[in-house]
Chains A and B, each alone.
Chain A
Amino acid sequence: MRLDRALLVFGKDWREVRRNWEVILPIALVPLIFSVILPAVFFILPSSVGGSTSTGWIEALIRNMPGSVQAEMAGMSSLQVTTYVMALYFLAPFFLIIPVMASSVIASDSFAGEKERKTIEGLLATPLTDGELLLGKILVSFVPSMIVTLLSFTAYCASVDFFGYNLFGRLPLPNLSWLMLMLGLAPVVSLAAIGLTVIISARVRGFREAQQISVLLILPILGLLFGQAAGVLIFGPTMILILTGLFAVVDIVVFRVGLRLFQREEILSQTR
């Protein structure tokens, strides 16, 4: 398998995606809006109701947090603690959903779209190897989804810092955990989801089927979200490191499974 040939597939698809605003706009705008509006709500709402929004589950979340996190919040007021936990911990798993959601349209379209547009036979007839085709298709979903994720993170940091500076007297983001989350865990989670979606896309007849099935991939990430909300799983540096390693292994397994399942004849037989 040659990387330059996988990049050739990536380049071809990237050009096509770039010229399709119907795909680009929702992928780019939704996470960006989400990244600016949510922190604004977290900062403005508690202040406007006099800082008494600390509910039972937030208190439970705070109680279950490791000592190091509790130490971060030592001396903070109730309003500061609530806002700090929401902005720096509660929202962290959402940033794992962004790359998965952003990539799902392109990854679902990867092979299924080529089948629908009847370009798949010409592509499969080329001497590009299975690995080169698979990697190229994964990359074309991965790169834009990570660009969107990192832009959203930048917007989120700016928003949290803008609203949070007065409240905390310092810029809360980025910190080590978030940097590890964005540069380590988000890419490997995204790769696993994309790999699975591309495999699904190669094995179904059309884009819609692929997208409907790939939506299920968000469920494990929602599990992380609820785990954190329940205080069972806290996205501290150690947890992020463990999860990054775990998902890196999953990525390798998914790619190998994808290669094993990649049968040109079967892909062609699913063409309408």
Chain B
Amino acid sequence: MPAIETVGLVKRFGSLAAVDGLSFEVEAGEIFGLLGPNGSGKTTTIRMLSCLIAPTEGQASVGGHDIRRDPLRVRETVGVLTENPSLYERLTAYENMEFFARAYGAADEAARAKRIREVLEFFELWGRRDERVGTYSKGMKQKLAIARAIVHNPEVLFLDEPTAGLDPKASKDIRDMMERLSRQEKHTILLCTHNLEDAERLCRHVMIINKGRSIVAGTTDELRKKIAGPPKLEVCLIKVTEQIMRTVEASENVKAVEVNGANTKLVIDVDDPDGSTPCVVKRIVDAGGLVRSVQLVEPSLEEAYLKLVKEAPV
């Protein structure tokens, strides 16, 4: 049984459909990426799945519990990192963790204390557990907010923009943590983000949504290939001359050629990249090109994403 399953989920605010017929499944232990620009419906989807708001139409279950019929069980099953860290700044990190652990039903004091220590150590915050959260940096607050979301060891985690506003080092730390959470602690994670680096590195399956609707869903590899096309041939030269350009453009299977501003790199859109590469490179050399390197570059998920969001109907 999938850890998360939605069928035709709809949320309307007056005449505006913030989420419009979303259907997807997330397998247990998987990190699933819900990608989309601001206002695409990601946060509304998380709010519906964590039973903070009710769907207008459609069905969904989380951890086997129906979000309409059993909201209390759903809330017990999930951990939520909301858009804001939702931490009490006058309380210490330990007091925040203690409150949320108990609110989520961790009744046994010794087990609770052990778990809080385990999680704070995991996030490298144990040494500063008795400091008020108001004194923490943004990165530390974000780590603590994720720690708070997993303190009750939930089956399913909803993470809404976990690396938003963080510096590159803190973002990397959070990504590493998410990987560890999925691998070591076997949490199912629904990751909402517009940070494609996060999605590309962490998620096997993603769904791109815009204006509340699903545009495309699949594995990250499938999306890259399907949307942004096959890999491109990238040839670095000492110098790109007019003659080299003309020769490459006239080559068989070459659809388009771009040259970078410094006149040292050709990016060639070519049919059957594996088969055509030797022939194209030979023609460049024959035209007097001094080749420094040749590589096939996979299109990034970012290219696929930008293309899709741009093409999505308004």
Interface residues of chain A, those whose CB is within 8 Å of chain B, are 5, 8-9, 11-12, 15-16, 19-20, 117-129, 264-265, 268
Contacts and interface: CB of A to CB of B under 8 A. Distances in A.
B82 A125 contact: yes
B86 A8 contact: no
Contact of B86 (A15, A16, A118): A118
Nearest to A129: B72
Nearest to A123: B86
Given A126-B75, A268-B53, 5 more contacts: A122-B80, A125-B50, A126-B104, A128-B103, A265-B54
A216 to B, nearest CB: 29
A122 B148 contact: yes
Contacts of B91: 12, 15-16
Nearest to B78: A125
A interface, over-half SS: helix
B52 interface: yes
A131 B104 CA distance: 16
14 contacts: A8-B99, A8-B103, A9-B103, A15-B90, A16-B91, A120-B86, A121-B84, A125-B82, A126-B75, A127-B103, A128-B103, A129-B72, A264-B53, A265-B53
B52 A124 contact: yes
A231 B102 CA distance: 53
B80 A19 contact: no
Contacts of A268: 47, 52-53
Contacts, number: 72
Q: Which 5 A-B pairs give the minimum distances between C-beta atoms?
A: A122-B86, A118-B84, A126-B103, A127-B75, A121-B82
Contacts of B80: 121-122, 125
A189 B78 CA distance: 40
Contacts of B275: none
Interface in B70-129: 72, 75-76, 78, 80, 82-91, 95, 99-100, 102-105
B121 to A, nearest CB: 22
Given A8-B99, A129-B72, A122 B87 contact: yes
Nearest to B95: A15
Nearest to B145: A122
B90 A12 contact: no
A129 B51 CA distance: 12
B92 to A, nearest CB: 9
Contacts of A19: 90
Nearest to A125: B80
Given A12-B91, A15-B90, A268-B53, A121 B83 contact: yes
A8 B95 contact: no
